[in-house]
Structure 1
Amino acid sequence: MSAELTPIQQRLEDFRQQGRVQAGSLIVSVFGDAVMPRGSRIWLGSLIRLLEPLELNERLIRTSVFRLTKEEWLCSEPAGRRTDYLLAPAGQRRFAEASRHIYAARAPQWDRRWRLIMLVGELAGKPREQLKRALFWQGFGMLGSDCFVHPSVDLTNAFDALIADGLGELLGRLKPLIAADTPYGSAASDLDMVHAAWNLNDLAAMYASFVQRYQPVLAQLRADSEHALDEESAFLLRILLIHDYRRLLLRDPELPDVLLPGDWPGHQARQLCREIYHRLLPASERHLDRHFQLANGQTPEASPTVYARFGEVDPLG
């Protein structure tokens, strides 16, 4: 009879046993978390070897990388018989914006003004669905059928993101607005706006599931602090942690604390992710030092900024 799996082993095994893996999404997480700090490029063969222990086969990774290239996340650069893949300009912008949210030590302060994007005129069919999807990915909620709302996004960046997503032809149909406070007591409250635009119950449930999945992992890391986790497992767990957390943040408008319940599970999820990440970082970076390669055989050093992600954290928990 085999020994019972530890929480860390269980998380890795759960991923391997998935019936269908969205490899492209995982590769996006790898580029954002591990490749960007080392110059934003990697040899395809090195990427394949790094992900092989998660039982992602070479064909799936190659197909996913080619698709990301077609979607302008990545671009290729041959070097002899090998090929480096690097972030395309649109991909760099997307990753920079995502990193600002993922690795923040705390949620941003709110200036108590709402950002609105109004759809002017009729827009139906595929273009409308593409617009809704693109803005939902940026954390916008909807008020009615033609108004998208966000508490803090930079509207210029939001429009730049639509251009990067290939929706630049729709900008002439969109009106950006910033809503100021009103002195009238009959105006809708900020909480009314939140409940009309977002389903916080669903988001809270997803955060609670994340905490339930990773709390045993943190307990193991704390208990075994004197016995180092092997470098490969540290790297793989780090990637899955950030991958799971990034997918949560894609659905999160990052509402200010004053608009959230006092026991909001997103706060616990951020602190949990933060501590696990810091505990995994040294061993996972040693693994990358050994196995990360460019097409020319070189291994670029990681930027020191990788150690500043999430801010400082108490190693004793």
Structure 2
Amino acid sequence: MNAEQPVDDVRTPRAQHGSSPQHLLATLLGEYLDSAAADLPSGAVIAMLREFGVTEASARAALSRLVKRGLIAIRGDTRPPVYHLTPAAIARHRSRMRHFLDFGAQPPPWTGDWVQVSFSLPSCGQAARHTLRRALTAHGFVRLYDSVWITPGSHAAPVRAELAALLHPVEGARWSVLHVRFDQEAGPHGPAAAYDLTGLAAGYAAFVARFAPLRVAARRGTVDPATALVARTSAMDSWRRFADTDPDLPTHLLPMPWPRQQARETFLDIHAGLGALAQARLVEVTTPHWPDAAGWITHFHAARPEPTGGSRGALRRTG
């Protein structure tokens, strides 16, 4: 549930603890730039990342990697180079931002449906087994038993195609994709036992404790723009991991009290309260390298996941 369909063939960097410069840059571009028409000088990117302690060399390396991933492209052959977001990346960013900002807003509709993947590989297929497990995890599956993996919902087409691509070349491999319902969903022998819900709850509680002082400061209006940019980005980076890893199980399968709503409210207060300040700081630091920065830099508002601010590009956006 809450699974989203990929938009075009844009390979965004995988999230990791202690975000890499390229992951940080992808976060910043997705949050504060919403037009493929904007010319983004390399000097502006270096200035953005400098706010987070990223060196010029690392910033240039991040740019190069995002070009290879299809997230940004070089405009013309000027020196120093000028970049722009690709249309596919814009669509991807909007989809992802809707996912992050809507996540946890309402209890998911629940039909009792699960998708189950079962497979059998020959002893010589260990490399394929490791690849398959990574792929299943990326599709939101968890291991119920050794070679039985499950995910809530009924959307099986993507994983079916993935299994065929990965296992068809493996001689002796067998696999099945099933739509199933469990007689007992809760308890130690049900599907909920496959998830580390205790660890997830602890993660939400840690998020609330970590960002509680910032939430209070945002409400009081005592956060300066430079702090707002770094802190808001950090909160988004932490929240997006929950949105990507929480299986969003129905309420009757969750331990109570479940702390996600408190974590969501903490995130929304920070994201909404610091958005204009963070935008202003980005405009301030990039304008010396990018005179048109104020016309293009924008920010998403958590209450309505559409960009606000900026006099060009984002305000003319449709859909």
TM-score in terms of structure 1 length: 0.71
Q: Residues 87-138 of structure 1, C-alpha deviation per residue, up to 9 Å, x if partnerless?
A: 584x667645543431113353222211233336448444433332343244
What CA distance in whole angstroms lies between the structure 1 residues aligned with 2:29 and 2:180? Answer: 36
The structure-2 alpha-carbon separation of the partners of 1:66 and 1:301, relative to structure 1 and needing over 3 Å to count, comes to closer
Is 1:169 matched up with 2:170? no
Residue 34 of structure 1 corresponds to 32
Q: Secondary structure at the match of 1:110?
A: coil
Contact 1:159 1:171 in 2 (8 A): no
Letter in 1 for 2:137: F
Residue 67 of structure 1 corresponds to 65
Residue 119 of structure 2 corresponds to 119
Matched residues, percent identical? 25
The structure-2 alpha-carbon separation of the partners of 1:44 and 1:307, relative to structure 1 and needing over 3 Å to count, comes to farther
What CA distance in whole angstroms lies between the structure 1 residues aligned with 2:97 and 2:37? Answer: 13
Residue 278 of structure 2 corresponds to 284
Residue 128 of structure 1 corresponds to 129
Q: Secondary structure at the match of 2:190?
A: helix
Residue 57 of structure 1 corresponds to 55
Residue 230 of structure 2 corresponds to 236
Q: How far apart are residue 168 of structure 1 and its match?
A: 7.7
Letter in 2 for 1:197: A
Superposition map of 1:265-280 within 5 A: 265-280=259-274
Is 1:150 matched up with 2:158? no
Contact 1:138 1:253 in 2 (8 A): no
Superposition map of 1:164-313 within 5 A: 169-170=165-166, 172=168, 175-180=176-181, 187-191=183-187, 192-222=189-219, 224-225=220-221, 227=222, 229-291=223-285, 298-299=292-293, 300-301=295-296, 306=301, 308-309=303-304
Which structure has more relative contact order (CA 8 Å, sep 6+)? It is 1
The structure-2 alpha-carbon separation of the partners of 1:40 and 1:125, relative to structure 1 and needing over 3 Å to count, comes to farther
Q: How far apart are residue 139 of structure 1 and its match?
A: 3.0
Give the structure with the larger helix fraction: 1
Q: Secondary structure at the match of 2:206?
A: helix
Residue 106 of structure 2 corresponds to 106
What CA distance in whole angstroms lies between the structure 2 residues aligned with 1:93 and 1:303? Answer: 16
The structure-2 alpha-carbon separation of the partners of 1:285 and 1:110, relative to structure 1 and needing over 3 Å to count, comes to farther
Unaligned runs of 5+ in 1: 1-18, 182-186, 312-317
What CA distance in whole angstroms lies between the structure 1 residues aligned with 2:185 and 2:132? Answer: 27
What CA distance in whole angstroms lies between the structure 2 residues aligned with 1:214 and 1:292? Answer: 27
Q: How far apart are residue 239 of structure 1 and its match?
A: 0.9
The structure-2 alpha-carbon separation of the partners of 1:308 and 1:195, relative to structure 1 and needing over 3 Å to count, comes to closer
TM-score in terms of structure 2 length: 0.71
Q: How far apart are residue 236 of structure 1 and its match?
A: 1.8
Letter in 2 for 1:216: P
Q: How far apart are residue 171 of structure 1 and its match?
A: 7.0
Contact 2:114 2:181 in 1 (8 A): yes
What CA distance in whole angstroms lies between the structure 1 residues aligned with 2:70 and 2:154? Answer: 22
Residue 4 of structure 1 corresponds to none
Q: Residues 170-229 of structure 1, C-alpha deviation per residue, up to 9 Å, x if partnerless?
A: 275764432246xxxxx342454344321112222222111110011112222x23x5x3
Q: Secondary structure at the match of 2:149?
A: strand
Q: Secondary structure at the match of 2:178?
A: strand
* Further displaced range: 51-60 or 136-145: 136-145
* Further displaced range: 236-245 or 278-287: 278-287
Letter in 1 for 2:74: E
The number of residues matched between the two structures is: 276
* TM-align CA RMSD: 3.6
What CA distance in whole angstroms lies between the structure 2 residues aligned with 1:243 and 1:98? Answer: 12
Q: Secondary structure at the match of 1:261?
A: coil
Q: Secondary structure at the match of 1:177?
A: strand
Contact 1:73 1:88 in 2 (8 A): no
